[in-house]
Chain A
Amino acid sequence: MALTRRSSTLLKPLTTFIPSTRLFSTSSDSTINVEIAVPFKGHQIDPPSQSVTTTASELMTFFSEMSRMRRMEIAADSLYKAKLIRGFCHLYDGQEAVAIGMEAAITKKDIIITAYRDHCLYLGRGGTLLETFAELMGRKGGCSKGKGGSMHFYKKDSGFYGGHGIVGAQVPLGCGLAFAQKYSRDENVSFILYGDGAANQGQLFEALNMAALWDLPAILVCENNHYGMGTAEWRAAKSPAYYKRGDYVPGLKVDGMDAFAVKQACKFAKDHALKNGPIILEMDTYRYHGHSMSDPGSTYRTRDEISGVRQERDPIERIRKLILAQDISTEKELKDIEKEIRKEVDQAIVQAKESPMPDPSELFTNVYAKGYGVEAFGADRKEVRAVLP
């Protein structure tokens, strides 16, 4: 059947998983070598090495952070069904490895900008669960004071520039952020995330041309979850090799369900962008939920495909297996961590529900920056003109 024709390519099982080199000491920060199972594919560039070093504490952090993200998205799902979250709600579960791997490779001075599937990236950048849930429910305690909603999460102090509703519009914005970084010479990069649907937007190629022309430190990351809302990638794109679409810009295809592959690729991309200009990363990932809460997610793909990916390639399960194989923790401890996180999320929801709705006066604040205009004066500087009511 046409629907399942390409689904077999999504189920590339993790059969060649080699956790090697058990070291003698069992202190929590001993290094562990991990082999990335799915090889990188490079376009006009040599891919980085397939082996990554990590530590036990990093593994545990990955596990708890990803579980927190997963739990948050599932909780958002139930809140939406309880009509506490309205409008659009695009969930990120299944794609957590991209957020976590990227965070592990960069600093808070680097910039991330993405589209509307931004809840987990906000969390990764330092947002709290309370702010997330409050914003989703439109309360005052939210990160945008309740005025933005699900698609408009921002955190300026840790370099998270959102949160954008219009598909593809964030790519020129992101190149502008990279331009500003080059202008101020601060040796940081911008990660510009977009989806396989947005990859067909013209403004992406325009922005890529300019980024390459001026050697901007821009890294374009295509989170390819293979479906642009209801349209599978083979129905929307003549050439679904998004990492090759840059033509003169090098590209790298990465297994987006493997947090270590993402981390390795992002580190590599950061080094490249600071020296040679833009690079495209294509993250091969998958979302379990539909495009948004109004989409069941099963009309254009089979439930078998979804459960197949969940069994074979789930990012949290991968980390769990790695932790257990390395004897860093036990099954029970991991379950306890998950229980803790569940409690944390539930508590955040309770607190967020207590947060009040924004004041009616908030309707008119932040439309313009501090009132209007600027101080005006005549050429003789004696008269400060104009008093407007």
Chain B
Amino acid sequence: MERDPRVCVIGEDVGHYGGSYKVTKDLAGKYGDLRVLDTPIAENSFTGMAIGAAMTGLRPIVEGMNMGFLLLAFNQISNNCGMLHYTSGGQFKIPVVIRGPGGVGRQLGAEHSQRLESYFQSIPGIQMVACSTPYNAKGLMKAAIRSDNPVILFEHVLLYNLKERIPDEEYVLNLEEAEMVRPGEHVTILTYSRMRYHVMQAAKTLVNKGYDPEVIDIRSLKPFDLYTIGNSVKKTHRVLIVEECMRTGGIGASLTAAITENFHDYLDAQIVCLSSQDVPTPYAGTLEEWTVVQPTQIVTAVQQLCR
């Protein structure tokens, strides 16, 4: 925001309140009420407003207080945000960033635990990224703001408390690149967002059992970084996808299809995809645990895959 006066933030309680997860804390005091705009509860309209403002050259960042609320703005995101660059023959660029916390939290209930990446993934014209660590959150956010395309940045409710030492100097990460978390030889585990931590936990157990998993945080949900993923598949020949999306029509389903289409000859075994159950997330803690993929399930899956 300091570098470019056209960058502004639009969302509910982003200004004086500082953001429901304190992401925009202190920004209103520094940049004023017009640049950090507190909106009424009208997701469809303020997302539409952000897109309209982006058409003239501003670079708004829309915050959905919870990603699930952005379902109300689906029309604006799909029809206007994604398609205007195309239907105007390139006349308008929509440099908007739509971000917010999503994913399954701690007993937040069904409506506040939605994974919207699966609903948005078909919209042509948008890019989707999911951050997972403080380091990549900062880099991806900067890249998303500077990008001339509409970018949806998926954060996770449970990852806001992570602490990490990050460089003071400026850095910008590549929006379409996947991150190699742990190189290995036996199996490629593809994951993103919070599941990365479950996978790393399972990886510790797996290493003790003698396996050598390669863990890749795909980060870019649309388009997939098939270059990094492909190189990994060519090395290990086995793929396990661990995601928090639902089984039906989720990111894992598309990723399975993409890998099978492109790297079928390199696979020694069927791609295994571990996803959340196709149910609304229940409130009860134990039930909620069972809807999401747990590290023990990942260990079992790798063991079966590498037999």
Contact = CB atoms under 8 A, between A and B. Distances in A.
Contacts of A385: 173-174, 177
B57 to A, nearest CB: 7
Contacts of A206: 40, 42, 44-46
Contact of A373 (B76, B86, B170, B176): B176
Interface string B41-65: 0101111111111111110000000
Interface string B86-125: 1111111101000000000000000000000000000011
Interface stretch (A4-12, A50-58, A98-106, A174-182): A174-182
B269 interface: no
Nearest to A190: B52
A169 B48 contact: yes
Nearest to B171: A379
A152 B54 CA distance: 18
Contacts of A213: 40
B80 A366 contact: no
Contacts of B127: 368, 372-373
Contacts of A146: 89
A389 interface: yes
B44 A176 contact: no
Interface stretch (B141-149, B210-218, B233-241, B286-294): B141-149
A156 B55 CA distance: 9
A166 B89 CA distance: 18
B169 A152 contact: no
B52 A176 contact: yes
Given A148-B89, A156-B91, A368-B149, A169 B75 contact: yes
A360 interface: no
Contacts of A173: 48-49, 51-52, 55, 76, 80
A184 B172 CA distance: 27
B273 interface: no
Interface string A95-129: 00000000000000001010000000000000000
Interface stretch (A157-165, A225-233, A277-285): A157-165
Interface string B163-198: 000010111111111000000000000000000000
Interface residues of A, number: 62
A147 B88 CA distance: 7
A171 interface: yes
A271 B75 CA distance: 33
Contacts of A148: 87-89
A166 B85 contact: no
B172 A376 contact: yes
Given A165-B79, A386-B177, A367 B125 contact: yes
A179 B49 CA distance: 8
A147 B49 contact: no
B301 interface: no
B124 A367 contact: yes
B225 interface: yes
A169 B76 contact: yes
Contact of A166 (B56, B75, B146): B75
Contact of A154 (B91, B146, B227): B91
A203 B45 contact: yes
Contact of B89 (A145, A184, A373): A145
B175 A374 contact: yes
Contact of B172 (A111, A142, A161, A374): A374
A379 B173 CA distance: 10
B257 interface: no
Interface of A: 111, 113, 142-149, 152, 154-156, 161-166, 169, 171-177, 179-184, 202-203, 206-207, 209-210, 213-214, 365-370, 372-381, 385-386, 388-389
* Interface pairs A-B: 9 shortest CB-CB: A176-B52, A172-B48, A379-B167, A176-B49, A376-B174, A206-B42, A173-B52, A206-B45, A144-B89
Interface of B: 8, 34, 37, 39-40, 42, 44-58, 75-76, 79-80, 84-93, 95, 124-125, 127, 139, 143, 146-149, 167, 169-177, 223, 225, 227
20 contacts: A111-B56, A148-B87, A156-B91, A156-B92, A172-B45, A175-B52, A176-B48, A183-B34, A203-B48, A210-B42, A210-B49, A214-B37, A368-B127, A369-B95, A369-B149, A373-B149, A374-B146, A377-B172, A379-B170, A385-B174
